[in-house]
Amino acid sequence: MNAVLLASPEVRGFGADPWWLVLGKAVVIFVFLVLMTLFTILAERRVVARMQHRIGPNRVGPFGLLQSLADGIKLALKEDIIPKAAHKAVFVLAPILSTAPAFMAFAVIPFGPEVSVFGERTHLQLTDLPVAVLYILAVASVGIYGIVLAGWSSGSTYPLLGSLRSTAQLISYEVAMGLSFVGVFLYAGSMSTSEIVAAQGDYWYAVLLFPSFAIYVISMVGETNRAPFDLAEAEGELVGGFHTEYSSLKFALFFLAEYVNMVTVSALATTLFLGGWRAPWPLSLWEGANQDWWPVLWFTAKVLLFLFVFIWLRGTLPRLRYDQFMKLGWKVLIPVAIGWLLMVATVRALNTEYDFDARQVLIYGGIAAAVLIGLTFVWDFVAARSRNAEPPEVTAEWDPMAGGHPVPPLPGQQRPQLTVAGTTAGSTTQTEDHP
């Protein structure tokens, strides 16, 4: 089966659609992504607002549904500035380079099984390749060029630094992301998205390969430059990051690309780990759940679930420091991913060579690994608590220029006696708890 797959350039059942169907599917995917973007921007603002005890935008249209559209129109009516120091051609090219690949990555995502459209049997998927997931990674990498070139061509300090950070971040987390896919390919025996979904009939890979799933979810947040990993646009340090100099619809394109990328990584997570368009458990008992057009609903629901997690993270976690962020990527995610990969491969080899069903090993091993990793966080937290519980060392002597900077007296420290000519300053001496 595998040898046949590698030899044939096409996945069975794909590449035979009539032209009008291809065009129709492409338009539907495009519209789907734009609508998802508009909706996600609004949902993010509303949900984060609720998390912060605010109401959020609710004036434009019913429930504020047209807010994002209004913002887009407003951006279109703003002046399109190209700074004097910018490299004009590259400056204009960068948003295009960042938007187009974001949309293109969605071409291989399966929305559902085979259905009939106007009498034509077809898969609810624009196309599928034997190397579909590799194709997504490749296209996503082209999108990084948009960010690099945007920062470089702006001819300004903040965008340059922002784009460098962003690039280093994307490539660091791409390694962990790439490693997390290997387990899936190993079990599915294919890189084609439709076959990976087909292989998840009895076990979703989120269950079977839980650590892979966890690594993917963490690195997908890093890959999309979202909080708590949005260091590329840390306002306090870098203004707006790589798109500081962009205005009008060019800025809107970067915004669009970011949200489309969010939808894409969510859809990829759904496809590779959550069974794609397959109905979740209680619903899957109903036989019709995985037929006809119903799977589109399950697929969209799972994608929305991931998008909600993105918003939830943003509403909950503070931004990491850059060195902590790189440390997490290179010193935690990559070694854990490699170790897990070796374990999966060993279990799988035992499975096929000695006919010993070891899937339970993976499931329980994965749960154990997750609990262990969770415990390290708890341990970190407890250690930090006990560290903070000890009162900081306070010397009774107050050094007003400790470390070369003027510092106020700490609680318990005394101001030195000031001796003014003729009097003593005894009356002003007091502890400085509440000045």
What residues numbered 85-114 form the site for other proteins, per CB under 8 A? Answer: 85, 92, 95-96, 99-100, 102-104, 106-108
Of residues 143, 147, 144, the one with CA closest to residue 106: 143
3 binds other proteins (CB under 8 A): yes
Strand positions, DSSP E, 187-242: none
Distance CA 102, CA 393 (A): 53
Sketch the per residue contact string, 335 through 374, with other proteins: x for CB under 8 A, - otherwise.
x--x--xx--xx-xx--xx---------------------
Of residues 385, 255, 229, 233, the one with CA closest to residue 317: 229
Please select the residue that binds other proteins; options are 45, 71, 124, 128, rule is CB under 8 A.
128
- Which sign does the torsion angle of CA 159, 162, 167, 168 carry? positive
Rounded least distance, CB 96 to other proteins, Å: 4
Nearer to other proteins (CB atom), residue 323 or residue 390: 323
Q: Interface residues for other proteins in 236-255 (CB under 8 A)?
A: 239, 244-245, 248-250, 252-253
Distance CA 149, CA 89 (A): 10
Please select the residue that binds other proteins; options are 61, 64, 178, 365, rule is CB under 8 A.
178
Distance CA 415, CA 425 (A): 10
Rounded least distance, CB 72 to other proteins, Å: 10
Rounded least distance, CB 386 to other proteins, Å: 26
Q: Interface residues for other proteins in 187-216 (CB under 8 A)?
A: 189-191
Q: Interface residues for other proteins in 220-239 (CB under 8 A)?
A: 239
Nearer to other proteins (CB atom), residue 154 or residue 266: 154
Q: Interface residues for other proteins in 24-63 (CB under 8 A)?
A: 25-27, 29-30
Using CA atoms in the order 243, 304, 143, 123, what is the torsion angle rounded to 10 degrees?
A: -150
Rounded least distance, CB 117 to other proteins, Å: 14
Using the rule CB under 8 A, give the single segment among 63-71, 124-132, 372-380, 424-432 that binds other proteins.
Answer: 124-132
Helix axes 334-353, 359-389, angle to 10 degrees: 160
- Residue 38 phi/psi, 5-degree rounding, is -60, -45
Amino acid identity of 298?
W
Using the rule CB under 8 A, give the single segment among 11-19, 114-122, 309-317, 372-380 that binds other proteins.
Answer: 11-19
Residue labelled with tokens 């420290």? 413
Of residues 384, 322, 3, the one with CA closest to residue 162: 322
Rounded least distance, CB 218 to other proteins, Å: 16
Contact partners, residue 33, CB within 8 Å, separation at least 6:
103, 106, 260, 263
The DSSP element (H or E) to which 124 belongs, if any, is strand 120-124
Rounded least distance, CB 361 to other proteins, Å: 15
Rounded least distance, CB 12 to other proteins, Å: 10
Q: Interface residues for other proteins in 384-403 (CB under 8 A)?
A: none
Nearer to other proteins (CB atom), residue 56 or residue 130: 130
Rounded least distance, CB 118 to other proteins, Å: 17
Burial of 413 (C-beta count, 10 Å sphere; 0-12/13-18/19+): middle
Distance CA 108, CA 128 (A): 5
81 binds other proteins (CB under 8 A): yes
Nearer to other proteins (CB atom), residue 272 or residue 289: 272
Residue 221: CB atoms within 10 A of its CB come to: 22
71 binds other proteins (CB under 8 A): no
Rounded least distance, CB 36 to other proteins, Å: 14
The DSSP element (H or E) to which 16 belongs, if any, is none
Distance CA 198, CA 190 (A): 10
Q: Interface residues for other proteins in 264-323 (CB under 8 A)?
A: 322-323
Rounded least distance, CB 269 to other proteins, Å: 18
Sketch the per residue contact string, 130 through 159, with other proteins: x for CB under 8 A, - otherwise.
----xx----------------x-xxxxx-
Output the 3-class SS for 42-59: HHHHHHHHHHCCCCCCCC
Please tell me the count of residues contacting other proteins according to CB under 8 A.
Answer: 96
